[in-house]
Structure 1
């Protein structure tokens, strides 16, 4: 009853809280840009650090590893701290990470910087959906999530192609330096826009254990992990594929990544407009569509125009996937949103970690085609687990 009263009270300030949602959207854009910038800079980073492309790809996996740890621990560690200040602290940590990566003298310092970024990613994402649920009324949650994930679309649209272009023009370090003042501006925006978000009690581990006893939730965790694992097995090594198979240079790569990212705006727009009510029937759609696109790339990826069209479809579904799964979480774990967010983020980040590690091994020891085949297999398993989504619904009492 107290939680319901608090939610109602916070909902009355929803009009003013849209500024906070926008501030979180910018933070999402920076997180996505920071986490996956090595994807567009993988080749020059490897050359600059004297490492293989597959080895350098672990710069993505190390952030995923620490994100898993942070997502599971943030609710407990934060305890009774005001969630506004937790988010501000995590955003500041992202700035420290960017400086370390930009100034790194060697591969080891790069890994430290990426590990700090992982802590920020895991902590932010674990709290993000629960914070959104407190900023806007229940009926506006899908729209607010779509707006927040619009930051993901912005990063996907501009970070990779701009990073690729500027990396070739100025150098990969300068790309990371360019992100630091934007992070500082976002920190100030958080301070101004985020309302006070007092903790609602400290039950992080207890809530997580309760959720893990729910069969439908565990199945959903596995399915979401496979869906994201499929996506990022491909995405982490997309540049080597486009270079080796499609045969593009820096300019062509930037254009293709821009097309992929711009398609993300379509995904977020469609998500905010059409995702309403029960979303369980949509849960298999991301793995089904993105797996089919990956299969298409495997067959006709050497044709530039066709590859570009397939990447547009992939980009739209990639952003829609986040809104679909997090809306499902808000509907089926509304009694423990922080714990559910932590577990969902841990599953997603673990899939990114595994995708980067396995993909790197396949790339270094087999071929880029083997990476795509692994992505297709993961997507197929996810579709088989989700089926029509009914088994992933919270039982009615």
Structure 2
């Protein structure tokens, strides 16, 4: 273990707060697309660039920064990335030009990708070996809470306040988190960094490539549809802003809770978890796509969708763990890059479909993506039911 800290769990909480503030900032625009479109006079598909630009840079920043920082003190790296988060929120808060907003989101992407590239290895240096899994769950818990409240919070605030107030709240939170991290994080030296050949060796493995395809289709399918769920409910289903905020909040809460159910299922069958998750995705998205103008069916299908999305990240993470073996430190930043790239590709392609057809087209695109995942999971032998991989991560 690296530098010992009298109160290592305070440092872990500081990292979890970083995960919370970064995930909140990353996904706020999903609940703001309509307001961004109206405020900056761009189409809703174009407004989706505020999601894709962040994810593209995050996908690139993860592996690149992992190589660039080498053995640099992870405390310095985390604080630097938190400063970038503050800068991004500040630009988003003050700008009146869409181009500048996109630049701010690009800066955020560097912070997001860099944070996830170093956070998992950094927290492992702060606690004893037997506590690493618990520390990881705390950090990922911060991310989970951020994703749960980001969209409903943005939707609620945009309905009652100016758009820039939302970014102001994000900026204030980022400043508070930086101060907490500055106080609580100790030095986190690393014995060695990841080498380029470590990445290359992984990318030559067929099982690794299969896992990445599953991740791309799953995450891409999610964000091809979910990025445009706010304009879908507003323009197609006709839900008012207050009801929409409540529905989005329920979605987030159900997703958060279903994550725990995913752990229970994974302990018995990882492939069962993954296949079951994809089937739930298909049922919910088909319901929304086929009954788009029915308020009750659309809301019920959306909540069912929340169950699937709550289980998907854990299932994918366990799949990565089971495939990487001893190469997890090298595979993690690649997976971060793949994950973020999938967010951007899903939102981008979904935006193109929205502009070419309508918002419901994004829901059908997500349905098609999950149909491909189900086929891939059915025919692949990559996924096994090894319970030991679950126990290593709990």
SS at match of 1:284: helix
Q: CA deviation at 1:248?
A: 0.7
State how far apart, in whole Å, the 2-side matches of 1:200 and 1:392 are: 33
Q: Which one of 209, 215, 220 corresponds to residue 229 of structure 1?
A: 220
2:391 counterpart residue number? none
Query: Is 2:175 the partner of 1:187?
Result: no
Q: Which one of 109, 133, 154 corresponds to residue 118 of structure 1?
A: 109
Q: Which one of 199, 204, 210 corresponds to residue 219 of structure 1?
A: 210
State how far apart, in whole Å, the 1-side matches of 2:232 and 2:30 are: 11
2:345 counterpart residue number? 354
1:338 counterpart residue number? 329
Q: Does the 8 Å CA contact 1:216/1:393 hold for their aligned counterparts?
A: no
Q: Which one of 40, 51, 66 corresponds to residue 75 of structure 1?
A: 66
1:1-397 to structure 2, matched below 5 A, reads: 6=1, 16-135=7-126, 143-271=134-262, 275-276=266-267, 279-387=270-378, 390-392=381-383
Q: Does the 8 Å CA contact 2:59/2:336 hold for their aligned counterparts?
A: yes
State how far apart, in whole Å, the 1-side matches of 2:273 and 2:187 are: 34
State how far apart, in whole Å, the 2-side matches of 1:138 and 1:224 are: 28
Q: Does the 8 Å CA contact 2:271/2:385 hold for their aligned counterparts?
A: no
Q: CA deviation at 1:311?
A: 2.5
Unaligned segments of structure 2, at least 5 residues: 387-394
Unaligned segments of structure 1, at least 5 residues: 1-5
State how far apart, in whole Å, the 1-side matches of 2:22 and 2:194 are: 27
Q: Does the 8 Å CA contact 1:280/1:390 hold for their aligned counterparts?
A: no
Deviates further, 386-395 or 19-28: 386-395
SS at match of 2:193: coil
Q: Does the 8 Å CA contact 1:76/1:204 hold for their aligned counterparts?
A: yes
State how far apart, in whole Å, the 2-side matches of 1:38 and 1:89 are: 23
Q: CA deviation at 1:64?
A: 1.2
Q: CA deviation at 1:142?
A: 5.4
CA separation of 1:258 and 1:115: change in aligned 2, threshold 3 A: same
1:3 counterpart residue number? none
Q: CA deviation at 1:48?
A: 1.0
Q: Does the 8 Å CA contact 1:71/1:125 hold for their aligned counterparts?
A: yes
Q: CA deviation at 1:367?
A: 1.5
Q: Does the 8 Å CA contact 1:75/1:338 hold for their aligned counterparts?
A: no
> Aligned Cα RMSD in Å?
2.8
Runs of 4+, deviation exceeding 6 Å: none
Deviates further, 356-365 or 131-140: 131-140
Deviates further, 114-123 or 338-347: 338-347
State how far apart, in whole Å, the 2-side matches of 1:324 and 1:15 are: 34
Q: CA deviation at 1:22?
A: 2.9
Instruction: State the aligned residue count.
Output: 387
Residue-by-residue CA offset, 1:69-115 (whole Å, 9 max, x unaligned): 10120111111102222122112211110001111121111111000
Residue-by-residue CA offset, 1:209-247 (whole Å, 9 max, x unaligned): 111112111110111111000101111101111112221
State how far apart, in whole Å, the 2-side matches of 1:14 and 1:337 are: 25
Q: CA deviation at 1:302?
A: 3.0
